[in-house]
Chains A and B, each alone.
Chain A
């Protein structure tokens, strides 16, 4: 396999993991909105309410930064990273 194909393979793997986490917190948990409602969440909010107000939103922020760092590592590993800073 060429270097480029390997790079893309890894990139695609990272995409799948990212989308899986995204799916769980944007869609998956809300299949059980009614069931989670009676469970206590952080800071004493009902769990479903907390996820819609803060939980899912915060997880998305962290997820994007995590994704960006992982992708960076993959690019560096294959020498495809750009020079220069951000």
Chain B
């Protein structure tokens, strides 16, 4: 099936797939009307979608290095855009982002700007040039451009640190969703998530991951947009929320003032009774509540991190040409934009559903006992994601007496707004798709770097293709299990570790990558210093701040990459300049990278 003219048939194949998925949703909706239980619907959604991904993964199996590492370099622009969007949007984007906006407002929306603006850097500074290079992995570029095993090895180290930090968070997210949807303990659910992830990538490598990611994008975007449009309509806010929610945003500001946001606060003793991880609304919804530097530094760190994350960069190695790589970045961001521009709308609709006393769903101002009797409140309270308490003893729920977990904003809003349960099942499948697709990209990035760069290029350059691919697959499984084991320990939250991954990547890789293309004078010694000192100083800063260090220049543990990359830049430039310039062959190679036409530097495409 996935042979020959498969590429030409892509629109038809995914068109049928999308139709089939919509039909499945309708069947579930009918099932719900006929008395199918909520639990059965949840299980059906997750099992059905995961089975489809596994089938795609199996059909994409391959024994060729080109197909395994870069999907044969024949993924069309638009489809690569969808795959990148799924690769990019993780559990953090899908499950946590709207929640973050709900609680923190403007200060948090720096992530929206940062996680999209980075693609301008990807398109203009890196992707087309790395595509021309014709490498299999990001360390492949570093190792060839700068030469020597040490530079290649350091790139592998930075990649592994950043991607591994990221992947534990994604396996955690798949585990959370699998445990809720399948009703099994989290410790086992992470391994269920892991097996689903490996099913997609084990046999087909990048080819399998590419075609499952396209399928996952379709599921996750339907799962995100359908509830937003539905709730907006139901609330009477307008059929196209993105253009029509200005009144609702203004209404929230009025209600915030009316309910005494910022003036009525909770005592420390009261807050101590709130379960860990839950938060109340303490920040204004749309007002500017962060200093310019706090906003800009976070956005900047995320943008530079975007342009350094290997699992994103390697998606552009799969396009047929340099030209296609550039356009594909545009399509990627377009598909990401569809979800990101909806996240603030979802946060607005969710908040208004909860706090507007004029809406049937509003709970603020109702009596505490009445709220505690609501079905969805009981469910989510039991899941430790919702909590109310009558702090002032007046029997009525006040704005400062309602607490919710960040994940609940996306996962619980359909229920709160009174949508049928089938939508909640759909949202679970979407969250699963988002987390799985990112985890797949990340595990593959690490395994490929270790098998191609560490094993094949450094340890055993004579290894045959078959042996290399066996090593790649073994590593894939080992890394997956290591990630799942750490995820099962639940050391840190989803969002925090994702942001750290960006900071690690930018600390070690941003300048060695960019200067490799844009500065001919950059040499091996400089790149080694840039990667080693950048990563070390970024990590050092993080450890210092985590252990009570005060930090400087307003750089926090979420933006330590700004410090790391500054050290990286300075050390790379200084060391490059005091050592000899790269040899003529390397300079000629850089010249060739800058021209789209002609053969790639490595290999035949």
A-side residues, CB < 8 A to B, are 4, 7-8, 11, 14-15, 18-19, 22, 25-27, 30-34, 37, 43-46, 48-49, 52-54, 56-58, 60-61, 63-65, 67-68, 71-72, 75, 79-82, 84, 86
Contact = CB atoms under 8 A, between A and B. Distances in A.
B303 A86 contact: no
23 contacts: A4-B591, A18-B120, A18-B124, A22-B117, A22-B124, A25-B117, A26-B114, A27-B299, A30-B299, A31-B296, A44-B246, A48-B106, A56-B117, A57-B340, A58-B341, A64-B119, A64-B326, A64-B330, A65-B327, A67-B124, A71-B128, A79-B597, A84-B320
A26 B249 contact: no
Contacts of A22: 117, 120-121, 124
Given A52-B112, A56-B113, A64 B123 contact: yes
B299 A67 contact: no
| Residue of A44, A57, A86 with highest tally of chain B CB at under 10 A | A86
B552 interface: no
B480 to A, nearest CB: 33
Given A15-B125, A27-B299, A60-B120, A86 B77 contact: yes
A30 B295 contact: yes
Interface stretch (B209-217, B284-292, B383-391): B284-292
A43 B119 contact: no
A60 B109 contact: no
Interface of B: 76-77, 106, 109-110, 112-114, 116-117, 119-121, 123-125, 128, 242-247, 249-250, 286-288, 290, 292, 295-296, 299-300, 303, 319-324, 326-327, 329-330, 333-334, 337, 340-341, 344-345, 591, 594-597
Contacts of B123: 64, 67-68
Contacts of A63: 120
Contact of B287 (A4, A30, A37): A37
Given A4-B591, A30-B299, A45-B249, A75 B596 contact: yes
Nearest to A19: B124
Contacts of A26: 113-114, 117, 120, 299-300, 303
A68 B326 contact: yes
Nearest to A84: B321
B594 A86 contact: no
A61 B119 CA distance: 9
Given A15-B125, A30-B113, A84-B321, A67 B326 contact: yes
Nearest to B286: A49
Q: Is the interface of A mostly helix, strand, loop or mixed?
A: helix
A33 B298 CA distance: 15
A77 to B, nearest CB: 12
A61 B330 contact: yes
Contacts of A72: 323, 326
Contacts of A67: 120, 123-124, 326
Contacts of A11: 594
Nearest to A57: B116
A26 B110 CA distance: 9
B120 A46 contact: no
Contact of B296 (A18, A30, A56, A68): A30
Contact of A43 (B77, B114, B244, B295): B244
A86 B106 contact: no
Contacts of A86: 76-77, 319-321, 323-324, 327
A31 B119 contact: no
A60 B124 contact: no
A79 to B, nearest CB: 7
Contacts, number: 152
B243 A43 contact: yes
Contacts of A7: 594-595
A63 to B, nearest CB: 6
A36 to B, nearest CB: 8
| Residue of A14, A45, A64, A67 with highest tally of chain B CB at under 10 A | A64
By Cβ-Cβ distance, the 8 closest A-B pairs, closest first, are A44-B246, A26-B117, A52-B109, A86-B324, A64-B330, A68-B326, A53-B344, A22-B120
A30 to B, nearest CB: 5
Nearest to A25: B117
| Residue of A7, A22, A33, A80 with highest tally of chain B CB at under 10 A | A33
Contacts of B128: 71
A34 to B, nearest CB: 5
Given A33-B106, A52-B106, A46 B296 contact: no
A26 B303 CA distance: 9
A3 to B, nearest CB: 10
Contacts of B340: 57
Contacts of A45: 245-246, 249, 286
A60 B300 CA distance: 14
A46 B286 contact: yes
Nearest to B290: A33
B119 A60 contact: yes
Contacts of B243: 43
Contacts of A34: 288, 292
Contacts of A57: 112-113, 116, 337, 340-341
Nearest to B117: A26
A56 B119 CA distance: 12
B519 to A, nearest CB: 11
A68 to B, nearest CB: 4
Given A65-B327, A82-B321, A82-B322, A60 B287 contact: no
Given A4-B594, A52-B113, A57-B340, 11 more contacts: A18-B120, A26-B299, A27-B299, A31-B296, A45-B246, A48-B106, A57-B112, A65-B327, A81-B323, A82-B323, A82-B597
